[in-house]
Structure 1
Amino acid sequence: MHVPDNGLTSSPVARDPGVGLAAEPPAGSAAAYWAGQSLTVLVPVYNEEESLRQLVVEMDQFLSQTPVPTTVLFVNDGSTDGSLALLREICRPGSCYEFISLRENQGLSTAIKAGIDHARGTLLGYIDSDIQTSPSDFLTFFEFFPEYDMVNGIRARRQDTLVKKASSKIANAVRRTLINDGIEDTGCPLKIIKMEYARRLPLFHGLHRFLGALVQLQGGRVRQIPVRHFPRFAGTAKYNLRNRAWKPLVDTFGFRWIRSRWRNYAIGEQQRAAGAHA
């Protein structure tokens, strides 16, 4: 795929984001499936001015290899630094990049839902703007479609502080115990979901912690695969011990309530009117 010049791809930092990765061209029935697919990669942004240029460098590498037409949708979640100005520069007409900007900071779950509501295509990708995961690892996800409805990464050899790793591990263990969804690393910021499942995700506080579980609630199948993890490129983490431990616990009980009242339906027969009555 041709990647339009966005003027921001000079002097990349050597992180080797694409080492060892190659996209195998689809063949047979897989080729027929991918011929009708398109991908929107959702990137929430909150005060990530220092990381955005490097993210574009690495995203351009992915865009040059992806076997499917791809758009990158940034969701500015009320940033108070220079993120919005930089997004206006990145998302020039004719590029693969676009953005929406929320009037004020609403939190990650709302940013994700807003992005889903504005996304196009048949598949939704998700990556954080702090680039602790690499866009190139999306290339390893494609082989699991259409058999699975979501592919969720598992961060291998996490490059985080001891406190962050411990709190995340505890939160994941508690969540799995309480809802038994089998998702090993629900917070991994590298996912692809079929759009028909993403569109049905309800908006609530903590939505981002239950994306895999919500796909399962709809009857979808989730595949989990290891992905690389990098130290934070720049800036500071937006989460601390409180919102990695206490808030996830509260959200988990909220999700249990939602799950107990969740309903799916299937239409057995349909007859549409030929036109509206004048």
Structure 2
Amino acid sequence: MSQNPDISVVVPAYNEAGNVVPLAREIAAALEGRNYEIIFVDDCSKDTTRQELIDAKAELPALRVVAHRHNAGQSRSVRTGVMFARGTVVATLDGDGQNPPENLPTVIDALMREDAPEDLALVGGDRSANRQDSAWKKFASRFGNGIRKRMLNDDCNDTGCGLKAFKRDAYLLLPFFDHQHRFLPALMNREGFKCEFRPVTHRHRTIGASKYTNFGRLFASLTDMMGMMWLNSRARNSRGADEV
């Protein structure tokens, strides 16, 4: 494992025993031949998630395990992983295994391509055409995404997709709050960065249960939306700075 990886893959995990090690193996296979590290952030799981990851370090030299002392949620887990990351590019995906790691090169290569706009800071996955969830869950997601897209004008059809690649230094400029991970495109735009999106695949959860309910997610999204609208109303962008 390189001490100076180009890519850091951050995976938040809470009570994902049985999912995390196969997922780590898939990530390693998807990025074979690249200079990368894998950071799983265990959000104080109550099952064997943490121990399974610790045991897997002997098999996967690129794997790092970071453990929260108290449960703090998905957004804080992502932020913790970014703070520990050593790569200039950070890619994220969900710990439940529903984001196929084979799609990681899709978003990473789009962000790192030579002809990318200079201010491109994030490339997100879009599961809209391939989402493997219940009809009710897909409806709730489309409804919530539609409202957010109209209110924040972030041009993102699927902000809930955990599969993203972004520049670490750009992420660290963003204001942090709980559920921040659902508003990364809007927050990047607020700082003057560009975002792009690529179609990705999605698959059914095979082990464990979702940590969210449709109503819980909707309530949190509505309150967070008002906060995001306030943040946008207070934004003043210098368009960069130069030492003179």
User: TM-score of the superposition, structure 2-length normalised?
Assistant: 0.89
Q: 8 Å contact 2:122–2:185 — kept in the other structure? A: yes
Judging changes above 3 Å, is the alpha-carbon distance between structure 1 residues 93 and 140 closer, same or farther for their aligned structure 2 residues? closer
| Structure 1 residue 61: Cα displacement | 1.2
Distance 1:133 1:177 in 2: 26
| Structure 1 residue 55: Cα displacement | 0.5
Distance 2:226 2:136 in 1: 24
Q: Secondary structure at the match of 1:204?
A: coil
Alignment of 1:86-125 (within 5 A): 86-92=52-58, 95-125=61-91
Distance 1:81 1:112 in 2: 20
Q: 8 Å contact 1:179–1:256 — kept in the other structure? A: yes
User: Is the deviation greater in 134-143 or in 188-197?
Assistant: 134-143
Match of residue 126, structure 2, among 154, 159, 173: 154
Distance 1:115 1:264 in 2: 27
Alignment of 1:112-261 (within 5 A): 112-141=78-107, 142-146=109-113, 147=116, 148-155=120-127, 156-261=129-234
Counterpart AA for 2:209: T
Judging changes above 3 Å, is the alpha-carbon distance between structure 1 residues 162 and 219 closer, same or farther for their aligned structure 2 residues? same
Q: 8 Å contact 2:25–2:60 — kept in the other structure? A: no
Q: Which structure has the bigger radius of gyration?
A: 1
Q: 8 Å contact 1:75–1:99 — kept in the other structure? A: yes
Distance 1:188 1:215 in 2: 16
| Structure 1 residue 94: Cα displacement | 7.5
Per the alignment, residue 6 of structure 1 pairs with none
Per the alignment, residue 14 of structure 1 pairs with none
Counterpart AA for 1:207: Q
Q: 8 Å contact 1:157–1:228 — kept in the other structure? A: yes
Spell out, residue by residue over 1:120-171, the C-alpha distance to the aligned partner (whole angstroms, 9 max, x if none): 1110100011111111111122044351321100013211012211111111
Q: 8 Å contact 2:93–2:163 — kept in the other structure? A: yes
Counterpart AA for 1:113: R
Distance 1:260 1:250 in 2: 16
User: Is the deviation greater in 198-207 or in 98-107?
Assistant: 198-207
Counterpart AA for 1:259: N
Structure 2, gaps ≥5 residues long: none
Per the alignment, residue 51 of structure 1 pairs with 19
| Structure 1 residue 92: Cα displacement | 3.9
| Structure 1 residue 248: Cα displacement | 0.6
Distance 1:92 1:263 in 2: 48
Distance 2:151 2:110 in 1: 31
| Structure 1 residue 193: Cα displacement | 0.2
Judging changes above 3 Å, is the alpha-carbon distance between structure 1 residues 37 and 107 closer, same or farther for their aligned structure 2 residues? closer
Q: 8 Å contact 1:172–1:185 — kept in the other structure? A: yes
Q: Secondary structure at the match of 1:100?
A: strand
- How many percent of aligned residue pairs carry the same amino acid? 33
Counterpart AA for 1:234: I
User: TM-score of the superposition, structure 1-length normalised?
Assistant: 0.79
Per the alignment, residue 268 of structure 1 pairs with 242
* Number of residue equivalences: 235
Q: 8 Å contact 2:111–2:165 — kept in the other structure? A: no
Judging changes above 3 Å, is the alpha-carbon distance between structure 1 residues 37 and 185 closer, same or farther for their aligned structure 2 residues? same
Judging changes above 3 Å, is the alpha-carbon distance between structure 1 residues 216 and 143 closer, same or farther for their aligned structure 2 residues? same
Per the alignment, residue 71 of structure 1 pairs with 37
Distance 2:73 2:236 in 1: 27
